Amino acid sequence: MHKLLARQIAKATNEAGSVDLEKLFALIADAYADVDRDRRRTDRSMSLMIEEIDTVQRNLQRTVIERTKELRERDAELQAQNMRFAAAISHMSQGLVMFDSQTRLVICNQRFLAMYGLEADGIRPGHTLRHLLERRIANGTISCDAEHYADNVWAMVKAGKPTTRFIELNDGRTIAIDNQPMPGGGWVSTHEDVTERRQAEMKIAHMARHDALTGLPNRVLLRERLNEALAHVHRGQRLAVHYLDLDLFKNVNDSLGHPAGDELLRMVAERLCCCVRDTDTVCRVGGDEFFIIQADIGDITDAEHLARRIAEAVKTPYALHSQQVVIDVSIGVAIGPADGTDADQLLKNADMAMYGAKAAGRGVYRFFESKMDARMRERRTLELALRNAFDNGEFELQYQPILNLDTGGVQCCEALLRWHHPERGLVPPAEFVPIAEEVGLIVPLGEWVIRQACADAAQWAGDACVAVNLSPTQLINKNLLPAVLDALASAQLSADRLELEITEAVLMQNSEVTLRVLHQLRALGIQVSMDDFGTGYSSLSYLRSFPFDKIKIDRCFIKGLGQSSESDAIVSAVVGLANSLNMTTTAEGVETREQLDLVRRLGCTDAQGFFYSPPVSSRELSMMFTKRRKVSFAAA
Amino acid sequence: MRAQHIVWNGQSGWRTKGEVGDPSLVLYFGTREALACGRRHEELRAMYPAAHVLGCSTGGQINNNDIGDDEIVAAAVSFAATKLRLCRQEICDAHRSRDFGEALGRALHADDLAGVFVLSDGLNVNGSELVAGISKTIGPDVPLTGGLAGDGANFQETLIGADCAPRTCIIAGVGFYGRAIRVGHGSAGGWDLFGPRRQVTRSVGNVLYELDGEPALDLYERYLGPDESKGLPGSALLFPIQVYDLQRPDSAVVRTVLAIDRDKRSMTFAGDVPQGWTAQLMRGNLDRLAAGAADAARQARSGFDAKHGDPCLSILISCIGRRLLMGQRTIDEIEAAGAELGPDTLRLGFYSYGEISPHAKSRLCELHNQTMTITAFAEAA
């Protein structure tokens, strides 16, 4: 019997043992109903579940179809991307190689293989970095310990930071290798041949520290070398810094042109290099300025010897464009560490010493002295004042008459430039003319002198000439001729009343240009005289090269007249020479009657000096002319 | 430890079977209708003036191998060496269930606390939170068992009597102290999962709004069909739901419905249904539900040494949902459990709105639904 039925019968049976059938049937009916409900519920839930699962399955199928389509499309897109990627990689200008986290090759492009002379057949994905290196060692593109190299690369990749390094191949190529770690532990490397770039960079680096014209170190490298040298100066040791400035180099550029100037600088550079030891450094820091670092000198005399050698080497004449050119150099020397423990101080002091050399008359060397600093400041002040003096009308011309020893009349008056400084009073020309030369004021100042002298002469009674000194710079200036013509025209002065005085130094430099200009001036009727004859080279060839109208015999010979037989002989010889060349002679610096008598006896045609008259103003001169017009000095 | 078997019915009044000596605890279970008047409590109080009297309303009483709806079943229990403490806590706000649980746990806590048996209002409480609150204060090593009171398939009102006339909105617990008491426990369902897995797409605490974006009540009504839908929320017990966190499959718990809101299309469960968890419907097969009950009995019995014999008293608390589904065959699960527990243990219990027991796998005490949960008591000699 089913245990439920047994239970129902037991439940329907009373304590007396009789079965309550009605109760039993009700229980049975309830049980049937329970079963029916359960069956219906089960059926319903099963069909709903099937429906739901069916829906889920349909959705799943639809999703699968959609996802499959998407995946196919993505697959196609990936394939296309892969093709584009492969094309891009194979056309890269850099070599590209990718390794996995086990240092095994994943991919590399053709450029990578070609760069290291590797055969595509011998390199396959899965090969290790070490294998690739061994192949490269075998074909000679690299020399290294493959294991050590691979370990180094791996250590850098493991550190997780991108790295760039440069390697030199055995054939001289430089390769830049950029390692970029990837998520997951591998890395990608790009290899670029940067040989040309590196060479260009090195060239640029060289250019940045060297002078293009001479190839010498420039100011940048000068400082580096000087700092280095100073760092190595030990107790008791010294070094010297020589600052060289070519004297009147500008004149070479102006007269012969810049190419000739550049050529001269190259020649100077070569000579300088020949003067120094390998341990010394020659630098060019600007137009005509050079520095020499003389390392590790034992004694100051070492520096002195070098300065002398330099001066000699530089002043030896140059054959430039089939002309002979002579140039001097002014040298300033500073000694480290005594004159400065840092580069700035040493360079500054060498600069100051060089200006000391310039002031001392050029072509010489000077060692730095502490008082130079004060002198330099004074000079700068003067330079500033000189620039203002022109605008402020502080210049004045005075004239010293030149006496004709035959007629006793004033043949000519030499214009002498005077500067009345508002505070310092009268500044001697020897002090300010060199500055005017250096700062470029000499040309406008010289033009003013010519113009003023012509204007003054036009006011004088009579026909006395006015003599004006020309500096070498003026003579090679292209504007000289127009300026002279303009001055004559403005003053309405006849050209034969203007006399220009030049020194030997003018002819020593660029004589061809100078001679051409002198001839042009003389063709206008202007007289040209040789000033201070006897003080320079006194080369007779100069007298032959140009038909001077007059030779002015320097005061040093006149001063010795009657005291030294050499002076008498020289004056006599010059007079003889002048006569034979059809030139007149003027004795300069005649201060006594005895000197006057002597120069007259020796045959000089003219005399100039304090004995007759000191320099006077144009106004005083005019008065003198008016007063003494009729007076003969022949008896004087 | 000794237990006296007590039964009350309308015809015979209280009848007792066996001697108990000086009982310190009386447990009783009856329908709401039978308990609501309070007289039964007073009668028991008079019969056992020295004992704590604890009972609740049910969805049917288990009386050894029988299930009845008309009788009140009870047991008077005396202990040789075990001390008891009964505490009760009024619940005024279901949202503070954890707080009330903690308060009850604090009241029962002591160093020698060896077990706690709890009965709670079955409708005005969040059972998960209540259990969490008690567990927190008594600690994880003290076994916590019990159940939520029932109200047949009506879901109207549940009652708890704890040294007082039975009434609503009460939680009560009895603590067993000392080294003598042995408490065995087991809990198992035996339900079969069926249908697709669904995601809890909207829920707040124990109120479930949506599964896979569809109102939860729509799903239940579809499965129940128009006739059984009229029986909601009781009929929803035919399809309990298992919820678990996909990341922690061990977290799987079965939830049973306490109430529905037809306007909001929501369903209120006896424990939390966390949003984002996975849910799957369950259905019962009579044989496997009975096998589940046997499994629970084996777990409860496993804590007792064979040489000490059967437990003295076993309290069987089974879900009302199981009874609704099994109908007259419900006795199958009572018999199956009884066969495992042995003939010498007094087996009493009730059909509940929720069961409390440590989880069979995690050992963490939790609220269960749709299970047979058995607590077996004995005292060491």
Q: Which member of B196, B327, B331 has the closest CB to residue A52?
A: B196
Helix (H) or strand (E) holding B5: strand B2-9
Last residue of a domain, one of B256, B283, B310: B283
CA atoms A203, A207, A209, A215: torsion sign: positive
Question: How much of chain A, in percent, has pLDDT values that exceed 70?
Answer: 97
Last residue of a domain, one of B283, B299, B318: B283
pLDDT surpasses 90 at B214: yes
User: Within this chain, do residues B279 and B266 fall inside the same structural domain, yes or no?
Assistant: yes
Q: Which member of A7, A34, A44 has the closest CB to residue B225?
A: A44
User: Within this chain, do residues B231 and B325 fall inside the same structural domain, yes or no?
Assistant: no
- One-letter amino acid at A46 equals M
Confidence grade of residue B258 (pLDDT, cut at 50, 70, 90) = confident
User: Per residue in A42-54, is it b (16+ CB within 10 Å) or e — as a string?
Assistant: eeebeebbeebee
Predicted ipTM beyond 0.85: no
pLDDT in tens, A68-127: 999 999 999 999 999 998 888 888 889 999 999 888 999 999 999 999 988 888 888 999
Identify the residue whose tokens are 């490269």: A136
Nearest by Cα to A142 from A104, A119, A174 = A174
From B228, which residue of chain A is nearest by alpha-carbon distance?
A41
Write out the DSSP string of B36-89.
Answer: TTSHHHHHHHHH-TTSEEEEEE-SSEEETTEEESS-EEEEEEE-SS-EEEEEEE
pLDDT surpasses 70 at A635: no
User: Per residue in B263-288, is it b (16+ CB within 10 Å) or e — as a string?
Assistant: eebbbbbbbbbbeebbbbbbbbbbee
Residue contact A34–B222, C-beta within 8 A:
no
Q: Is A337 exposed, middle or buried (0-12, 13-18, 19+ CB in 10 A)?
A: middle
Q: Which two tokens stand for residue A305?
A: 């010897």
pLDDT in tens, B64-101: 999 999 999 999 999 999 999 999 999 989 889 999 99
The whole-number pLDDT of residue A546 equals 81
pLDDT in tens, A393-428: 899 999 999 999 988 888 899 999 999 988 888 888
What is the mean pLDDT of the segment spanning B102-107? 96
The whole-number pLDDT of residue B203 equals 96
Looking at the structure of chain B, the number of domains it has is: 2
Sequence-distant (≥ 6) Cβ neighbours of residue A516 within 8 angstroms: none
Q: Which two tokens stand for residue A43?
A: 């059926």
B contacts of A51 (beta carbons < 8 Å): none
User: Within this chain, do residues B37 and B180 fall inside the same structural domain, yes or no?
Assistant: yes
The whole-number pLDDT of residue A233 equals 80
Helix (H) or strand (E) holding A552: strand A550-553
User: Within this chain, do residues B37 and B176 fall inside the same structural domain, yes or no?
Assistant: yes
On average, the pLDDT of chain A sits at 88
pLDDT in tens, B344-370: 899 999 999 999 999 877 778 889 889
Identify the residue whose tokens are 């369902």: B189
pLDDT surpasses 50 at A632: no
User: Within this chain, do residues B26 and B41 fall inside the same structural domain, yes or no?
Assistant: yes
Confidence grade of residue A566 (pLDDT, cut at 50, 70, 90) = confident
Pairing of the two strands B72-78 and B25-30: antiparallel
Question: How much of chain B, in percent, has pLDDT values that exceed 90?
Answer: 73
pLDDT surpasses 70 at A630: no
- One-letter amino acid at A553 equals I
pLDDT in tens, A458-485: 998 888 999 999 988 888 788 899 999 9
Q: Is A210 exposed, middle or buried (0-12, 13-18, 19+ CB in 10 A)?
A: middle
Residue pair A240/A303 in contact (Cβ under 8 Å)? The answer is: yes
A44 touches chain B (CB under 8 A): yes
- Compute CA distances A268 → A52, A284, A327, whole Å: 104, 10, 10
A contacts of B283 (beta carbons < 8 Å): 42, 45
Residue contact A40–B225, C-beta within 8 A:
yes
User: Within this chain, do residues B105 and B12 fall inside the same structural domain, yes or no?
Assistant: yes
User: Within this chain, do residues B291 and B313 fall inside the same structural domain, yes or no?
Assistant: yes
pLDDT surpasses 60 at A590: yes
Q: Is A92 exposed, middle or buried (0-12, 13-18, 19+ CB in 10 A)?
A: middle
Strand stretches in A256-409, DSSP E: 281-286, 289-297, 318-320, 323-325, 329-336, 365-367, 395-404
- Interfacial A residues in 12-41 facing B (CB < 8 Å): 27, 30-31, 34, 37-38, 40-41
Identify the residue whose tokens are 């439920």: A4
From B225, which residue of chain A is nearest by alpha-carbon distance?
A44
Three-class HEC string of A193-257: ECHHHHHHHHHHHHHHHECCCCCCECHHHHHHHHHHHHHCCCCCCEEEEEEEEECCHHHHHHHHC
A388 touches chain B (CB under 8 A): no
Pairing of the two strands B198-204 and B266-269: unpaired
User: Within this chain, do residues B7 and B33 fall inside the same structural domain, yes or no?
Assistant: yes
d(CA B37, CA B166): 8
Q: How far is A145 from chain B (nearest CA, A)?
A: 52
Order of strands, edge to edge, in the sheet holding A105-108? A105-108, A95-99, A187-193, A174-181, A163-168
d(CA B96, CA A627): 138
pLDDT surpasses 80 at B295: yes
Interface of B with A (CB under 8 A): 194-196, 222-225, 228, 238-239, 283, 325, 327-329, 331
pLDDT surpasses 60 at A560: yes
d(CA A199, CA A205): 10
Identify the residue whose tokens are 């459990």: B337
Q: What is the CA radius of gyration of chain A?
A: 52
Q: Which of A22-36, A176-190, A532-546, B138-152 has the lowest mean pLDDT?
A: A532-546
B contacts of A34 (beta carbons < 8 Å): 327-329
A208 touches chain B (CB under 8 A): no
User: Within this chain, do residues B123 and B139 fall inside the same structural domain, yes or no?
Assistant: yes
What is the mean pLDDT of the segment spanning A46-68? 91
pLDDT surpasses 70 at A611: yes
Helix (H) or strand (E) holding A358: helix A343-359
The whole-number pLDDT of residue A509 equals 64
| Interface mutation target, options B199, B227, B285, B328, chain A, most CBs of A under 10 Å | B328
Q: How far is B330 from chain A (nearest CA, A)?
A: 10
pLDDT in tens, A214-256: 999 999 999 999 998 888 887 678 899 999 999 888 888 877 8
Write out the DSSP string of B85-154.
Answer: EEEEEE-S-GGGHHHHHHHHHHHH--TTEEEEEEEE-SSSS-HHHHHHHHHHHH-TTS-EEEEE--BTBT
From A2, which residue of chain B is nearest by alpha-carbon distance?
B329
d(CA A22, CA B122): 36
Residue pair A531/A551 in contact (Cβ under 8 Å)? The answer is: no
User: Within this chain, do residues B267 and B247 fall inside the same structural domain, yes or no?
Assistant: yes
Residue contact A34–B327, C-beta within 8 A:
yes
CA dihedral B254, B259, B260, B261 (to 10 degrees): -140
pLDDT surpasses 80 at A361: no
Last residue of a domain, one of B241, B260, B283: B283
d(CA A176, CA A172): 13
Residue contact B223–A44, C-beta within 8 A:
yes
A207 touches chain B (CB under 8 A): no
d(CA A209, CA A206): 5
Residue contact A53–B283, C-beta within 8 A:
no
d(CA B60, CA A510): 138
Contacts across the A-B interface (CB distance below 8 Å):
40
What is the mean pLDDT of the segment spanning B209-214? 95
User: Within this chain, do residues B106 and B205 fall inside the same structural domain, yes or no?
Assistant: no
User: Per residue in A398-431, is it b (16+ CB within 10 Å) or e — as a string?
Assistant: bbbbbbbbeeebbbbbbbbbebeeeeeeebeeee
User: Within this chain, do residues B253 and B318 fall inside the same structural domain, yes or no?
Assistant: no
Domain housing B69: 2-188+287-379
From B332, which residue of chain A is nearest by alpha-carbon distance?
A4
d(CA A500, CA A514): 13
